[in-house]
């Protein structure tokens, strides 16, 4: 089997458990993202895969081989570091050539492969420059070229775009994604930026406190979170406190609400909705079972979206993102409104 | 806040004044007064030619540079691993190494040199040990020769090398070494291709400091050397104290200064360009 497999990996520093019995399988060719807040264990997990950190327990398989105790250099991985780790005493060519020169690849071959890698990251002509003569984006490209020059089947990336400004970031996301698809690489990508994770990944593992809170394709984890943590971490989330009374869920104002995939096992919990799935309408016009009452608390103009903050009767604030399209209805601050949604967009989460 | 030109000069003034009063004035005075004894420029020039033609002086110039070079290389070879160990060590180990390196520094050179004489002498600790174990039949000549000078001077100058190297090594980004390991480099390759090049300007700086200090050494070679280990500083002292030949002492002082300053000039050029590369 190619790809990566972790089995019950555990790592603690003194009393602090950083990774708690983590198991996951990343098949060949997948773009896999470890997403989580700082201290969630994502970087440590990557470091264990890379071999810079040894797990206390558990096993690491790389391309089907047990690599738990292997040195980093024996693992044959490409890596892009958070700070790029470009050697300041070597120029761009020598930096990109480094993984090949240490493997004693013939000079002619090196020249060809470095040229190919630099062309792929659009840095042809920069061979003789040093890191300090490059912009942040160019340094990032050097780091990327160096990670792929030896054609490793697996490339690890530790917050590679963290230092770039927003526009460049988006641009580089697209480029990394394109290169990884073209070369058929398995990528393990670490980030704390949920937008980046959603844009680039085939699959995301959201980590919290050393465990995987949820794992799945971007759309699934975004639309069907299994916990309030995942719901909130992946973007704006509306969470409404609900209780079961004689078999039916009841929300603020004693109004009945329904949730998709509700099997009736939870007695109380939080009803989850994404703001873009929530619409506003005039009072009394919302459909029973997926409507709550409130009044507009604030209106924010975000350009392509208008964000309404609606205060429910119990004080809960609900966000409703409405696309700024032709003919949208405007609700002024203070107006009474019905907040409504489609039942299949609502999910019941444990507290 | 960037300083104006006036503020810069004001801040520089005390240092310049100190250098002027304590170094440039006495040295300048000594040299000019000494040379004036000779009379005309022609006489001075003739004396310079005579000095440069004197076997013992030329030999002392060669000796001085040879010993300085050897001591520089020895401190480098011994100091580099010690400095590296210091960057790796934590807590008590670090403190211990630091104390071992720096403590001798607080003792006067004379005391340290005599201490070495106790160890290296004919009836010294080392010879007693070797004789006792039957490794040698008669005491080894460890002192009053070039070997003694090298041991003594290397010991005295080692802290300068270690501390300079330590400062440089401490500033090497450990993530670069980790990155190199991740890219398939073996420990030896990481050292030769990454770590050593990144500490090279420290090697140059430490070597320069040690070399320049070694050039002016006087007590240690006088006490631990033999008749063939005459260094320039010793000769200058002899000219002044025994022969009262101030002009010759002045000319030799100039030679010593010129060598030192040219070394420094070469180093500054070199370090400027290398720092620009690393900035």
Query: Among residues A35, A31, A27, which one has the least CA distance to residue A203?
Result: A31
Question: Which helix (H) or strand (E) is A93 found in, with range?
Answer: helix A92-101
Rounded to a whole number of angstroms, the distance from the CA of A52 to the nearest CA of chain B is: 7
Chain A residues whose CB is inside 8 A of the B193 CB are 98, 101-102
From CA A146, how far away is CA A151, in angstroms rounded? 10
* Domains of chain A by residue range: 4-223, 237-349
CB within 8 Å of chain B, chain A residues 103-142: 103, 130, 132
Label residue B144 left, alpha or beta by phi (over 0 means left) and psi (-120 to 50 means alpha): left
Cβ <8 Å between B198 and A132: no
A93-144 residue pLDDT tens: 999 999 999 999 999 999 999 999 999 999 999 999 999 999 988 999 999 9
Query: Which of A48, A73, A156 to probe the B interface (max B CBs under 10 A)?
Result: A73
At residue B279 the predicted structure's pLDDT band, cuts being 50, 70 and 90, is: very low
Query: Among residues A186, A145, A102, which one has the least CA distance to residue B180?
Result: A102
Q: What would the DSSP string read from start to end of A105-139?
A: --HHHHHHHHHHHHHHTT-TT-TT--GGGS-HHHH
Query: Among residues B138, B139, B136, B135, which one has the least CA distance to residue B122?
Result: B139
For A237-349, CATH gives 2.40.50.140
Cβ <8 Å between A85 and B277: no
From CA B223, how far away is CA A47, in angstroms rounded? 57
Count the Cβ atoms, other than its own, within 10 Å of residue A7. 17
CB A288 within 8 A of CB A249: no
pLDDT, residue A134, reads 94
Query: Among residues B226, B225, B255, B224, which one has the least CA distance to residue B239?
Result: B255
Query: Among residues B135, B111, B141, B107, which one has the least CA distance to residue B123?
Result: B141
Query: Among residues A125, A128, A161, which one has the least CA distance to residue A143?
Result: A161
From CA A91, how far away is CA A260, in angstroms rounded? 57
What are the backbone angles phi and psi of residue A29, rounded to the nearest 5°? 90, 0
From CA A271, how far away is CA A255, in angstroms rounded? 13
Sheet holding A65-66, edge to edge: A16-26, A4-13, A57-62, A65-66
In whole numbers, what is the pLDDT of chain B averaged over residues? Answer: 89
Look up tokens 């119990």; give the residue: A314
Cβ <8 Å between B198 and A89: yes
Per-residue burial over A201-216, b = 16 or more CB atoms within 10 Å of its CB, e = otherwise: bbbbbbbbebebbbbb
A201-233 residue pLDDT tens: 999 999 999 999 999 999 999 999 999 999 999
B163-176 residue pLDDT tens: 999 999 999 999 99
Domain spanning A4-223: which superfamily?
P-loop containing nucleotide triphosphate hydrolases (3.40.50.300)
Reported CATH class of domain B42-278:
mainly alpha
- In this predicted complex, what is the ipTM? 0.81
At residue B30 the predicted structure's pLDDT band, cuts being 50, 70 and 90, is: confident
Contacts across the A-B interface (CB distance below 8 Å)? 61
pLDDT, residue B56, reads 87
């Amino acid at each position: 089997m190619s790809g990566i497999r972790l089995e019950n990996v555990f790592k603690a520093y003194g009393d602090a458990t950083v990774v708690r019995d983590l198991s996951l399988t990343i098949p060949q060719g997948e773009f896999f993202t470890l997403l989580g807040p700082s201290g969630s264990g994502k970087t440590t997990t990557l470091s264990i895969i890379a071999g810079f950190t040894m797990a206390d327990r558990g096993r690491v398989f790389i391309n089907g081989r047990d690599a738990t105790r292997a040195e980093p250099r024996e693992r044959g991985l490409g890596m892009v570091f958070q700070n790029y780790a470009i050697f300041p005493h070597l120029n761009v060519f020598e930096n990109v050539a480094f993984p090949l020169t240490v493997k004693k690849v013939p000079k002619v071959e090196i020249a060809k492969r470095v040229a190919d890698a630099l062309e792929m990251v659009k840095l042809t002509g920069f061979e003789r420059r040093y890191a300090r003569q490059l912009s942040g984006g160019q340094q990032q490209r050097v780091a990327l070229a160096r990670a792929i020059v030896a054609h490793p089947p697996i490339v690890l990336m530790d917050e590679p775009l963290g230092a770039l400004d927003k526009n460049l970031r988006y641009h580089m996301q697209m480029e990394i994604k394109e290169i990884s698809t073209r070369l058929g690489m398995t990528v393990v990508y670490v980030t704390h930026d949920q937008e980046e994770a959603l844009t680039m990944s085939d699959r995301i593992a959201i980590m919290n406190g050393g465990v995987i809170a949820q794992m799945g394709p971007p759309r699934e984890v975004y639309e069907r979170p299994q916990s309030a943590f995942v719901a909130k971490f992946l973007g704006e989330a509306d969470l409404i406190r609900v209780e079961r009374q004689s078999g039916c869920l009841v929300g603020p104002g004693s109004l009945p609400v329904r949730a998709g995939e509700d099997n009736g096992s939870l007695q109380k919990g939080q009803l989850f909705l994404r703001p873009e799935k929530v619409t506003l309408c005039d009072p009394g016009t919302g459909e029973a079972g997926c409507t709550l009452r409130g009044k507009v608390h604030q209106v924010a103009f975000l350009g392509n979206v208008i964000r309404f903050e609606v205060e429910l009767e119990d004080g809960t604030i609900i966000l409703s993102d409405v696309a700024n399209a032709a003919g949208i209805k405007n609700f002024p601050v203070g107006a009474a409104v019905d907040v409504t949604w489609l039942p299949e967009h609502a999910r019941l989460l444990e507290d | 806040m960037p300083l104006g030109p006036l503020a810069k000069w004001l801040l520089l003034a005390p240092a310049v004044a100190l250098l002027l009063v304590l170094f440039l004035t006495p040295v300048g005075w000594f040299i000019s007064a000494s040379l004036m004894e000779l009379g005309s420029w022609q006489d001075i020039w003739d004396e310079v030619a005579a000095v440069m033609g004197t076997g013992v002086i030329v030999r002392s110039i060669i000796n001085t540079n040879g010993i300085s070079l050897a001591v520089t290389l020895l401190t480098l070879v011994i100091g580099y691993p010690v400095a590296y160990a210091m960057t790796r060590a934590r807590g008590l180990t670090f403190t211990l190494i630091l104390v071992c390196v720096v403590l001798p520094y607080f003792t006067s050179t004379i005391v340290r040199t005599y201490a070495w004489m106790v160890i290296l002498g004919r009836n010294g600790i080392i010879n007693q040990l070797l004789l006792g174990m039957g490794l040698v039949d008669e005491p080894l000549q460890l002192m009053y020769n070039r070997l003694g000078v090298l041991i003594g001077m290397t010991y005295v100058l080692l802290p300068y090398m270690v501390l300079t190297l330590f400062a440089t090594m401490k500033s090497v980004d450990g993530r670069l070494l980790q990155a190199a390991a991740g890219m398939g480099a073996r420990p030896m390759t990481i050292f030769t291709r990454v770590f050593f090049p990144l500490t090279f300007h420290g090697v140059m700086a430490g070597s320069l400091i040690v070399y320049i200090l070694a050039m002016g050494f006087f007590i240690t070679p006088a006490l631990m050397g033999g008749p063939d280990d005459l260094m320039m500083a010793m000769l200058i002292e002899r000219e002044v104290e025994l022969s009262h030949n101030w002009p010759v002492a002045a000319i030799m002082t100039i030679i010593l200064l010129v060598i030192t300053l040219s070394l420094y000039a070469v180093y500054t050029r070199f370090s400027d360009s290398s720092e620009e590369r690393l900035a």
